[in-house]
Structures are given as C-alpha cells and as structure tokens.
Amino acid sequence: MTSRKNTAGAAVQAQPLPKRSQAARPSDWPSAWQAMHVCLVVIEGRLVTLAEVCGKKPDRKARQFDVECAVELALAHIRRMRADPPDSHQAFEQQWHLASCAIELADGAYRFPRSRYGRLLKRTRWHFDLLRDLVERVEWQHRRG
C-alpha cells in the first residue's frame, strides 16, 4: 500500500514537464504600437493626477503656477500623441522626449521636493524613463526576432 505522499510523487514523476524555450518568442511580446499606446495611457493618468493635485491647492504661488503650466503642457502633448499616434518609433521617441522635458523642467522648478506634489513629480519623471525603456525593449525584441 502506498501512502498519499508517495502516490502524488509517482504521479508527478510520471508526467514529463513541457519544454520551455529560454527566451520569449517575438509573438509573445506586444507589438510596438500596443506598447506605445499603453505608455501613453499610463502617463496620461499620472499627469491628470498631477494636474488635479495642483489644482486643489488654494495657496498656489507664481512659481508653482509655472510648474502647473509645464504639467499641463506635457498633458496636452500626450493627449495629442494619443489622438494622432506617431508613425514610427523614432517619431514616438522624439515626441515622448518633448513631454518628458516639460516634466523635468517642472520637477527642477518646484520648490518643495519633499511635499506630496514634489514626490508625484519625481515619480512621474521616473515613469517617463521607465515607459520609454519599455517601448525601446519591445522594439528591440521585434527587430531581433
């Protein structure tokens, strides 16, 4: 009589494991257009959050107004990119860089980096870099495969 533990072990040993390839096939990856669309949706959400948080502050100052305008500029640019998607990866990179620069300027101009808004600005900058790298990785994977 076999114990329950031995029966399960025998069943697992009897079934061969499916073979997996080490690298993902290009068909497993999203297309470059899908990656670009996801990036635009994610970053638009981050920018909308930034605009809403800044708009709720009753004691905005002139320097903070400049930061708010830079965020609105980046948001308008991203919305334009969503409405009229870029034709190529290079065009996407160029337009993405323009929106990213507006956020970098806003982050550099903001006086209170440890405040909630300052931390949101910094994280949004990181998201711009991270999402740009995601699109580059997908593009590279499709060129390679």
Residue 30: band (very low, low, confident or very high) from pLDDT cuts 50, 70, 90? confident
Q: What is the pLDDT of residues 6-25, one digit of tens each?
A: 655 555 565 665 665 555 56
Q: What is the pLDDT of residues 49-59, one digit of tens each?
A: 998 887 766 66
Q: What is the pLDDT of residues 84-129, one digit of tens each?
A: 999 998 999 999 999 999 999 999 988 888 888 899 999 999 999 9
What domains lie within the chain, and their CATH numbers? 30-141 (1.20.1440.210)
Q: Give whole-number Cα distances, 137 to 29, 40, 142, in Å.
A: 10, 16, 9
Q: Return the percent helix, strand and coil in the chain, to nearest 5.
A: 75, 0, 25
Q: Give whole-number Cα distances, 123 to 35, 51, 131, in Å.
A: 20, 14, 12
**Would you state the torsion angle of the CA atoms of residues 134, 136, 139, 144, taken in this order, to the nearest 10 degrees?**
-110
What number of other Cβ atoms are within 10 A of residue 85's Cβ? 13
User: Is this model's pTM higher than 0.85 or not?
Assistant: no
Select from 61, 57, 64, 54 the least CA-distant residue to 109: 64
Higher pLDDT among residues 100 and 26, named by residue: 100
